[in-house]
Structure 1
Amino acid sequence: LELERALLAWRDDPQVDHVVIDGAGDRAFCAGGDITRLYQAGLDEDAEYGRRFWRDEYRLNALIHEYPKPYIAIMHGFVMGGGVGVAAHGSHRIVTDSTRLAMPECGIGLVPDVGGSLLLARAAGHLGECLGLTGHRMTAADSLYAGFADAYVPEDRLGALISDLVASDDADVWVIIARHAQPAGDSMLAAHMDDINAVFGGHDVIAIRSQLD
């Protein structure tokens, strides 16, 4: 809710040209929502907490997706679940050396949320099914290939990138990013697309499981 309030205020503030979102610390951009709290709410039969949690989360995701100003997400470290929702619906999505991005909800019996199914559906071939059913952690190159990111900036260039973004007024954000972006290297997922399509192209989960077995 704090982020939502800030974005709404900045949206209508003529002194704000664009928004840069970065994680606190070096380990993660955002590792997702408070699943422990959701689990406890379930044990307590507190259905209202879950309804409020999902309502607030999806409203924030929609706000980011429709944001009228450049929204630049610096996706360093772990970007998981809810973190994907805060980053990958933005207009300018930056990955770096430490990026490990995933939709891991399958590991706790949930389906991909935070609008992740929209992103997964846009991935090449049957890659979306693979990522949604396995929770595979993507590198920077994989994230670009899968359509969850737009540019790779080495970690030793992030400080300069953010400084340039802060110093700019209404300059083209893509031009600023291009000064610091570099090729991300080869994607492991891209190299294995034939196998991914063969295994995850089944008409249902049972068929896919049979291929994995």
Structure 2
Amino acid sequence: MNYDALQRLDKNTKDRRLVRLKVLSASLLLLSLTLFVWTLYLYFEYFLTNCNKKGFPYDNCTLRENSTNSEALSKYSWYRPGFKPCHEGWVFKDKSFGCYYISNITLAWTDANKFCRNMSSCLTNILSDEDMNWMGNLTNDHTWVGGLQNGYVYQWACQQYNYQKKISPLSTLWASGEPRLNNTPQCVQIWKTETGFGLDDHYCNLSKRFVCKALPIIR
């Protein structure tokens, strides 16, 4: 066999090895993706299947309403004797699993937002009438929350806690006649009405009380 034939044979061998290596790499990548997808599927399938079973991981997959005393908290796996879920001066709400800071000072919306972020929190979101009435009754005043106007839509400014980003203009959380889109960007407040509380858009530079929300301390 001459030298040229040996070179061709060597090149063909290398080409075949390269093809095999590419096929093997593609197969391993496909296997990894398949395992990843199955892992996600099995996790969520297990969670959803067991969601309504008592105590998994919280009753009805949420924390039930209870007080913040040790007897009520002791049923959770992360509880420790003397455990306090929030920093001093914050209020723990079980159902939303959050710590809330109710301000006693008044600030413009932007300054209130900075105030909350300096405490590793955000201006709170509002997802239910229960949340709104609970906060409204605590402040008993017009109160800034984390919503603001962005063009022709309203959205929650903080995504840290997986807030639903947009606030539907058709939401029943809005007070009667609200929101009213304005050329000047508006911010969202809890508005105290004669019959209760509702969301309202207002000028962001006005000073109001505000509510910050943070995750509980679990470690």
| Greater C-alpha Rg | 2
- Pick the structure with more helix per residue: 1
Q: TM-score range by the shorter chain?
A: under 0.3
Give the TM-score of the pair, scaled to structure 2.
0.27
Give the TM-score of the pair, scaled to structure 1.
0.27
Of the two structures, which has the highest relative contact order with CA contacts closer than 8 Å and spacing of 6 or more? 2
